[in-house]
Amino acid sequence: QFFVFCHGLLQLSQLLVSGYLKSSISTIERRYGLSSQTSGLLASFNEVGNTLLIVFVSYLGSRVHRPRLIGCGALLVSLAGFLMALPHFVTGPYEFDRSVASTFSNSTDLCQPQRGAGANLSQASCAPHASRENHEVLLLMFVAQALLGIGGVPIQPFGISYIDDFASERNSPLYLGILFSLTVIGPGVAFMLGSAMLRFYVDIDKVSAAEVQLTNKDPRWVGAWWLGFLVAASLVALSALPYFFFPREMPKEERWESSSAAWRGFPVVLLRNLRHPVYLLVVLAQVNISAMVAGLATFMGKFLERQFSLTASLANMIIGAVNIPGAMVGIVVGGAILKRFQMSLRQCSALCVLGMLLCLLTAFPLLFLGCPTQKVAGVTYWDSSGFGHHMLECNAQCRCPETGFNPICGSNGVEYTSPCSAGCSSVHMHSDGSILNYTRCSCIAGPGPAGFARPGTCGTGCSHLFVPFVVLSCLAGILASTSHTPSFMLILRSIQPEDKSFAVGIQFMLLRVLAWMPGPVLYGSAIDTTCMLWERRCERRAACRYYDNTLFRQR
């Protein structure tokens, strides 16, 4: 029972490391200028290390000291977690365009016609070290993700087989049930951790609070994404310790023969299972839904942030507290229906089909629940006063750098990418040093000679659709996940009993290769196609500033 407790703790903290990345993905994109395709590849890269080794490890089976190997794997996972946080400590502080000179930079992004060309903001000076730094950051993170996958390999299979070998027949299902429920809870906890950490400013350890000048609602805000990795990695390291003290074998009422015989007939069994139509169809169905779940888990937070103008912290809170528990409820309900009605295979497949159909019906309205992107001058909106692609007349005298990004919302309801592009030449402050508003903006018509603007984005004006969206998406999730248990039953009961563990192994292998790896990358690529304005860093395309929200939602 102590082993089950330790294993539950370890699985939970391992899932914290891999799940936490998904909760902070939009923040890491913004901090290091990544496209969603790159961040999607990063999020699924731990599956690569995992898949390469899983077959080999299952083959070792009971010939090794399983608890010790689990402990070593866990230490690798912990190392991977610390490596994920390392980029924060090797790169300089986060820099963003500001309207008020600070200790960091004496430049400001207001319109200052009297100065010569380019005197406002240095044209995103591109030191060679900046682009090198970026490659190093990406390399570090990809290596960390690969290690995370490799370290995770022994944990699940060895833990489960160890428990199943030494627990009594009566208790084994209970123990495995506990572990399974923890694997479902884990991602939820990870998103809640993300929600808590992203409320802190990214450089909380490097700058004083007074110098931050940003609130977490600001589009330039970057939360302390690295903090969660330190927390999660420390937890993994702690849970790894007991494993070095467990014996190689525990006493049990009766021993089973080991599964090494299964490997002699490897090709035969493989073909036998893949030729089985029920097995193949169910696995393909699971591949389709898993690819969707993998993509959604990675980018759902980003979607909520963009569609409903939420902070990253709130988006994670919704996913961790509403969507994931909803899926858990669905899994339990599906299992309960199975047990209550003792369903045949045909009834199992009917239940799956019903769950999916109802899910499609509830998910269909989600296509329309959202608003178009706000009007952004020169990006989504060109007016008659000559504010066109070339920023004519109204801010020509400002000589704004093209790379500037510090969105403000004009009194005319149009968003401008920076005070300079709106032609604003003065700024008013609160007593606490935050910005109240911008005035004398030559591009914004207003009372008197020019209009004014407030800091921050105008937002999508979509908050009224937020609750219906969350309710419907949660409901769709509950309905879809009712088919989880019956689809597993279909697999387990449609094949010969002696092939069972092998068939499940093949199933997970196919899910990894066909769903969990490509899912986030495909979703990220689709999201990238809807970008309307890319940030440029050193001539390279970095993160996306504005998406076409309607296309983002539909795709």
What is the 3-state secondary structure of 62-126? HHCCHHHHHHHHHHHHHHHHHHHHHHHHHCCCCCCCCCCCCCCCCCCCCCCCCCCCCCCCCCCCC
**Residue 59 backbone dihedrals phi, psi, to 5 degrees:** -65, -40
Q: pTM value?
A: 0.86
Place of tokens 């490391």: 17
What's the confidence (pLDDT) of residue 266?
63
- CA dist., res. 79 & res. 91, Å (int): 19
Sorted by where each starts, the structural domains of the chain and their CATH numbers stand as 1-93+131-248 (1.20.1250.20), 266-365+465-554 (1.20.1250), 387-455 (no CATH)
> Are 483 and 352 in contact, with CB atoms under 8 Å apart?
yes
Encode 96-120: b = buried (16+ Cβ within 10 Å), e = exposed. bbbbeeeeeeebbbbbbeeeeeeeb
> One digit per residue, pLDDT tens: the chain, 555 residues?
899 999 999 999 999 999 999 999 999 999 999 999 999 999 999 988 888 777 677 666 657 888 999 999 999 999 999 999 999 999 888 888 777 765 555 567 788 776 554 444 444 456 666 677 788 999 999 999 999 999 998 888 788 878 877 887 777 777 887 887 788 789 999 999 999 999 999 999 888 877 777 888 888 899 999 999 999 999 999 999 999 999 988 876 444 444 444 555 666 766 776 778 888 899 999 999 999 999 999 999 999 999 999 999 999 999 999 999 999 999 889 988 988 888 888 999 999 999 999 999 999 999 999 888 888 988 888 765 544 444 456 777 887 877 788 899 998 888 999 888 888 888 888 877 778 888 888 888 766 667 889 888 888 888 899 999 999 999 999 999 999 889 988 887 887 777 776 777 778 888 989 999 999 999 999 999 999 999 888 778 889 999 999 999 999
> Which residues share a beta bridge with 437?
428
Sheet holding 424-429, edge to edge: 415-416, 408-410, 451-455, 435-441, 424-429
What's the confidence (pLDDT) of residue 35?
94
- CA dist., res. 189 & res. 193, Å (int): 6
Number of Cβ within 10 Å of residue 327's Cβ equals 20
> Which residues share a beta bridge with 544?
534
Place of tokens 């479902």: 184
**Which one-letter amino acid corresponds to residue 209?**
A
> Are 306 and 469 in contact, with CB atoms under 8 Å apart?
no
Number of Cβ within 10 Å of residue 484's Cβ equals 21
- Return the structure tokens found at 24: 């902070």
What's the confidence (pLDDT) of residue 390?
45
The closest of 14, 142, 30, 15 to 86, measured between CA atoms, is 142
> Are 232 and 13 in contact, with CB atoms under 8 Å apart?
yes
- Return the structure tokens found at 230: 């330190």
Place of tokens 């490659």: 135
- DSSP 3-state of 152: helix
